[in-house]
Amino acid sequence: MRERYISDSVIRRLPKYHRYLKELEERGTGRVSSSALAHALGFTASQVRQDFNCFGGFGQQGYGYNVSSLLSEIAAIIGVNKKHSAVIIGVGNLGHALVNNFDFVNCGFNLTAAFDASADIVGERIGNITVKSVDDIDSFYKENPFDIAILTLPRACVTDMAQRLTRLGVKGIWNFTNVDLHLEEFGVKVENVHFADSLMTLCYEISDAKND
């Protein structure tokens, strides 16, 4: 299915198309043009058409794109229809936030377990998940291999945990710990969510404005 190399720039725009097309579909909009999409998302019409043509054109000349079919093409490309499995490691405030409020299914994942090191938290029930001990990760993996692990645990434990998960054979890690993980050489995809990097960028921008 995936023939040629798709650049990171394109890939990072796919979720934005997905989100907006979903919005259009909910509103009952049937068709959309590259220029309308571009306007809504802050891209250019050329860029939009180039992006879609990475995967083979989904449009119709003189008409534009059919919202539902474009949405399902994009969903298929991202893989959100695949029902990957995910576990979360570290059930502090952030872990709770994700388990309680985050729509994993919308992103192509099922959350199958949660683990924590603290005896106070192990056993806690959140929604339909009961927090297990981190000691049980390996045995749980053997019974229920998961595709990715979500790291929301203290900095100090991250490197060890990442190694352990790599040995187990996870496909990816969603890393919230502000430790830069690079496991590409071991075939593990890592997506780092660096809150601090994001806030520092904003810091730069408002400092900048101050100086103008």
Partner DNA sequence: TAGATTGTTAATCGATTAACAATC
Chain residues binding DNA by CB under 7 A are 7-10, 33-35, 43-47, 49-50, 52-53, 57-65
Q: Which residue's CB is nearer to a copy of itself, number 123 or number 154? A: 154
Q: Is 130 helix (H, G, I), strand (E, B) or coil?
A: strand
Contacts of 119 (CB under 8 A, 6+ apart): 133
Among the candidate windows 11-19, 55-63, 110-118, 156-164, which touches a copy of itself by CB under 8 A? 11-19
Q: Which residue's CB is nearer to a copy of itself, number 38 or number 41? A: 41
Name the residue with tokens 């990171």: 8
Q: Does 93 contact a copy of itself by CB under 8 A?
A: yes
Q: Rounded CA gap, 177 and 55, in Å? A: 34
Q: Which residue's CB is nearer to DNA, number 63 or number 196? A: 63
Q: Strands 65-66 and 189-192: what pairing?
A: unpaired
AA letter at 71: L
Count the neighbouring beta carbons within 10 Å of the beta carbon of residue 120: 8
Q: Rounded CA gap, 197 and 199, in Å? A: 6
Q: Does 54 contact a copy of itself by CB under 8 A?
A: no
Q: Rounded CA gap, 164 and 137, in Å? A: 9
Q: Which residue's CB is nearer to a copy of itself, number 129 or number 193? A: 193
Binding site for a copy of itself (CB under 8 A): 1-2, 11-12, 14-16, 18-19, 41-42, 77-80, 82, 84, 92-94, 96-98, 100-104, 106-109, 147-148, 171-172, 174, 178, 180, 182, 187, 189, 191, 193-212
